[in-house]
A = this chain, B = another copy of it.
């Protein structure tokens, strides 16, 4: 399989390299693309250096599958051309997610939706993916109706610049040096703030709106009601979410735990004796979404409270995209062309 990564030098782009290698993805050739500024850099894949190139003008990435994470406007401008040259584009930006002709896929929730693609498949937003790995099996078992979500989102969602800023400002704060945020409007050192995305007339920011609209599309529930409060916290690379969920009928914590324990992509971490539940540090670098704090909601009989944590760069981005490609391969829908 000829694989191209667009945005190869970013936080998600570099993660693709490791994940393709770890999972023995059937790569026959690997092309790495990034901005002109990064062209010429070398990244390592399977022990060999691969040179990063600028995107070709003609849109032919000479690839069977393209993993794109170089920003929405670039993807909006070029993804169709990449697909016209024969690639299946798995796009990790917001550009195509709500396009009715583009499947939006979390393999654990709606993997087969990917089969209906017309050249582009969208990878959902990170906080949506992490919530839905837990909510999709609960929905299948009990019928999800409403959820309120409060997020604890890592700085990696803002890319390498977010990661650098957390490290640099934290050191400055410890040393008593002035705090000069560059990537974020506010200092993230020992602080937290409402998500750094635009805010609509109803007061919800874009991140919160994604959680609502993307979940509706992925679960095929146009009437699903979600209200989210998205918050950036001083954590490097895993998002956590406190969720209250309401279903068609009453759901016990035990029934939910049983469903979640059998669901793919989940590790139940719910040790009340040792006060050990999902934590971003434990989720970081792993594939599973950690799910715990399973409780029957004391404020609404039949509803459920839970807490999840997942690696934002992996399951929230690169891993989910690779899993979409793997699902296509398993279904015979993504093949290397016969030479």
Which chain A residues have a beta carbon within 8 Å of chain B's beta carbons?
A: 146-148, 150, 152, 166-167, 170-171, 174, 185-187, 190-194, 196, 199, 202-205, 212, 225-227, 229, 231, 233-236, 240, 242, 244, 253, 272, 274-277, 279-281, 292-300, 305, 307
- Complex copy number for this chain: 2
Cα A274 to Cα B276 with chains together (Å): 38
Within 8 Å CB of A274, what residues of B?
Answer: 185
Write out the residue numbers on chain B whose beta carbons fall within 8 Å of the beta carbon of A148.
148, 244, 297, 299, 305
Among A205, A234, A236, residue most surrounded by chain B Cβ atoms (within 10 Å): A234
Q: Is the CB of B281 within 8 A of A227?
A: no
Assembly CA distance A194 to B186 (angstroms): 25
Specify the chain B residue showing the minimal Cβ separation from A244: B148
Quick check: B194 and A307 within 8 Å, CB to CB?
Answer: yes
- B202 and A190 within 8 A (CB): no
18 further interface pairs, Cβ-Cβ under 8 Å (given A170-B174, A234-B235): A146-B300, A150-B229, A152-B192, A167-B174, A170-B190, A171-B174, A187-B281, A190-B234, A192-B233, A193-B279, A194-B275, A199-B272, A199-B275, A203-B294, A225-B299, A229-B293, A229-B305, A233-B234
Q: How far is the CB of A147 from chain B (nearest CB, A)?
A: 7
Tell me the complex Cα distance, A196–B275, Å: 7
Residue of B nearest to A274 (CB): B185
Nearest chain B residue, comparing its CB with the CB of A229: B242
Please tell me if the beta carbons of B229 and A299 are within 8 angstroms of each other in the complex. no
Cα(A202)–Cα(B229), bound, Å: 25
10 A-B pairs with CB atoms under 8 Å apart are A167-B174, A170-B174, A190-B235, A191-B279, A192-B233, A194-B292, A194-B307, A199-B275, A203-B272, A227-B295
The CA of A281 and the CA of B187, in the complex, are separated in Å by 9
CB-based contact B281/A191 at 8 Å: yes
Chain B residue contacts of A152, Cβ below 8 A = 152, 192, 231, 233
